[in-house]
Structure 1
Amino acid sequence: MISNGSIYLLPLEKENLQQLQQWRNSNDFRKYFREFKELSMDHQERWFTKIQSLHSNDFMFGIYDKKNSELIGACGLCSVHWIYRNADLSFYIGKDSLYADPLYAKDTVLSLIKFAFNDLNLEKIWCEIYENDEKKINILSQIGFSKEGFLRHSSYKNGKYINSFYFGILKNDTIKSEDNHLNKD
């Protein structure tokens, strides 16, 4: 179990798939995701089988509220590149359509950073965020991610092209949290 602040992370279970499908198909969330069509349960099950493979380079977790042990979202380190020592960060809070709130989401990202750098010995975490995703942009900036790149017209959503930002954080960067550093406990 990975734990930080208000949340803890556990590997996703098959029983989580229906809830994840509902959250990911929500119109409020889909505008921020890469998928261009609704996800079927068959798609969810094939994805789950892939990430459970011994050869998977994805570490996906359910996000649980410490107060009541309720599943509130999903997150992960995707496409881990073991030679370059980096991974793509993914997170969202599905409960109550919070998406990327300042409490649960921030605690989630800090947990993944700690896991990536201390347990997996990665050098960098990066993520692609659409320009309209102000909540995630704010959270990543508050934590200490740097805006590293810009892709024009990288996606087509709701009848218009939108741009993407690439954010990254290195193992030696200062993590902006309550204690202003990444604990190694």
Structure 2
Amino acid sequence: MARRWADVAELIATQGLKGRLVARPVRGLPFLLCEGLDVHFVPPTLDGPRKARVRGVQHLGAGEYAVEFDCVKNRDAAELLAGSHCLAARADLPEDFEDFMHSSADYLAGFLVVDSTLGAIGTIEDVQEMPTQDLLVVAGEAGEILIPLVDDFIVEFDDEERVLTMDLPNGLVDLDAAEDASAEDDA
């Protein structure tokens, strides 16, 4: 079954008093929010809007955009959405969106994932698309490990050497436990 929704942008801050938000694209996507696009906000907030239509977009530079939504009228309403992600219906996105998603997943396959503390973890076999972030499927000596593909975890992306260096939170990847589980599966 094809997925109906795609995470296309993160709302990182408010801008001004009239309810504009600063947004940036996620996961290496081009910026896809445009006037007239309907979006849903995740995670939903108790008091804030759950969905909106984009009223306007202005490029700010450095990969960031000021976005106006039809139901966000002031700074207080915008503050409720800061930190949210924007989901858009795939049917409303450009025709080449699916090709871009598949090519980016295919492109990452084969990259070595190295943690700044643990060292080499394994090689990316696949990228699983999830609602708020993608998961790297990494195969290594410890077996298969799922690692969230989050910008904050990425230290360096070496395209030439095909190495993705990450700084993963303590406990996210337990190579000893994964090795033990792999050994039990082999028995």
> Scaled by the length of structure 1, what TM-score is found?
0.22
> Scaled by the length of structure 2, what TM-score is found?
0.22
Largest Rg, 1 or 2:
2
